[in-house]
Amino acid sequence: MGPGDKLSSDPQTRRFLNDSLSHLKEYGVSIVFHPYAVHRKEQVVGYYDGENKRLMVCKKNPKWLSIYVHEYCHFLQDIENSSIYTRYNELWLNPQEIAEGWIKGKKHSRKTVKKAYRLIRELELDCERRCLEIIRKYDLPIDKSKFIQEANSILFQYFIEEQKRAKAKELSNEQIEKMPKRLLKRYIDRPPEKALKEIENDIKYTTK
């Protein structure tokens, strides 16, 4: 019995979990499946921390498998020394921390904020493309079209957050269904205006 056999009854999922969990352990990464995931004192659905070699996933989330695939792909970016992962971590402060701090009122130059958000979008797009490769390779029970739409919705929310200086709340299924079904590199800098407006018209913001 492999380490992933207790997590799923689906044979394809179990095969992927066994392969990936063994891979993570090979690099000394601690893996935690927990009802709730907390990172930097905030509740999250999951995260990969390369510095502290820790990967955590909120197992209660109905999309836990997609979340795990996503965080595993951040691990792959790390160990492969991918260009974007290296550039992301070369910034004087973590880009995500810059974005989150700026939204909460911390002062950063416009140039710093713009660079941080672009690095975030570039990192996430690369990660989502890796996810799709794994979903196809293992034939995982994840709807690829919906996965792409959700990935795009998150990517586009970063544009709106940067413009509005406000944290975007999670979109509804109806909003996500309006997103493109392709992950294109140009979305890093030029999201489709129609999709962006669909989100912007309905989205709610919080500065807390």
For 60-85, the pLDDT digits (tens) are: 899 999 999 999 999 999 999 999 99
Count Cβ atoms within 10 A of the Cβ of residue 129 and give its class: 0-12 exposed, 13-18 middle, 19 or more buried: middle
Length of the chain (residues): 208
Rounded Cα–Cα distance for residues 18 and 7 (Å): 10
Average pLDDT over residues 150-173: 87
- Better-scored residue on pLDDT, 72 or 194: 72
Check pLDDT > 60 for residue 206.
Answer: no
Which pTM does this prediction carry?
A: 0.91
- pLDDT tens readout for residues 1-43: 566 667 788 899 999 999 999 999 999 999 999 877 666 666 7
| Residue 193 confidence (pLDDT) | 86
Angle (CA) 64-192-178 rounded to 5° is: 50
What is the pLDDT, as a whole number, of residue 5? Answer: 66
The radius of gyration of the chain's CA atoms, rounded to the nearest angstrom, is 17
